[in-house]
A = this chain, B = another copy of it.
Amino acid sequence: MTTNDHSPAFLEFLAAHFQDGERLPSLAQISREMGISIAALREQLEVARALGLVEVRPKTGIRRLPYTFLPAVLQSLRYATGVNAENFRLFAELRTHIEASYWYQAVALLTPQDLAELMSLVQRAEARLAGSPPENPHGEHKELHLSIYRRLNNPFVNGILEAYWELYEAAGLAVVNEHDYLRTVWQYHRKMIEAICSGDLDVGYQALVDHTDLLYKRPQAAPRQRFE
C-alpha cells in the first residue's frame, strides 16, 4: 500500500500515444507534457528500457519497439539465478513443461518449408558432431527448439523459451557437454523431426519428452505416464 503506489505513468503514455517504431519527442518535451522533471522521467524511462519497450539514443531520441516478453523475463531471471542458482533448474523445468504442453499445437502450424529447414538443421548438427574435431552444435540445438514453437506466435511462450537459451549460454553450459550425450540427444532430435514429417505426432512427442529427461528428470512427467 504505502510502499508501492508507483504507477508507471510513462509506460501508459508510451502505450497510449505512439505506435511501434514511432519516434517520441525529446526528453525535455515529454517532461513538460507529463508535468514531471527530466530526472523523474528518466527513472521511468529506464524501466521501459529494461523491459525492452523503447530504444533510446542521443540525437535519434526515443523510439517505441515492437512488444516482446523476453527482456522482462531475462532481467528477473538473471537476478534470480544470481541470488540462487537453484532457480535456473526451476525455470528450466518450466521450459520443458511448456514445450511439452504446446507440442501438438505448435507442430500443427509448421509449414513444409519449416520442416525442410528443421531437417537441414539436423543434418548440419550431425555433420558438426561427426567432424574432426567434433564440435558442439549448440547453435543448431537452440534454433531447432525455438523454430518448432515460433509459429505459435505467442510472445509469452516464445519469450520464456528464448530466455532459457539466453541464460543457458550465459551460464556457459553451451560448451561443456560430452560427446556421447550430444550424439544421443541428436538421435532424438532426428526422431522428432522425422516423426513430424511423417505425421507421427505422438512418436515425436515421446521423443521430445524422453530427450529432455536425459538432462532434467521430471518427477511425474504429466502426459507420459498415460502410456503405461
**Interface residues on chain A, number (Cβ under 8 Å):** 67
Q: How far is the CB of A168 from chain B (nearest CB, A)?
A: 15
Contact of A218 among B94, B105, B223, B226 (CB under 8 A): B105
Evaluate contact between B102 and A97: CB separation under 8 angstroms. Answer: yes
Evaluate contact between A57 and B2: CB separation under 8 angstroms. Answer: yes
Could you say which of A4, A73, A222 has the most chain B C-beta atoms within 10 Å of its C-beta? Answer: A222
A3 close to chain B: CB less than 8 A: yes
A26 close to chain B: CB less than 8 A: no
Evaluate contact between B155 and A222: CB separation under 8 angstroms. Answer: no
| 18 sampled A-B residue pairs with Cβ under 8 A | A11-B79, A11-B82, A12-B82, A14-B79, A43-B46, A44-B46, A47-B75, A51-B79, A67-B79, A67-B80, A71-B76, A87-B155, A93-B154, A104-B221, A104-B222, A105-B218, A222-B223, A226-B227
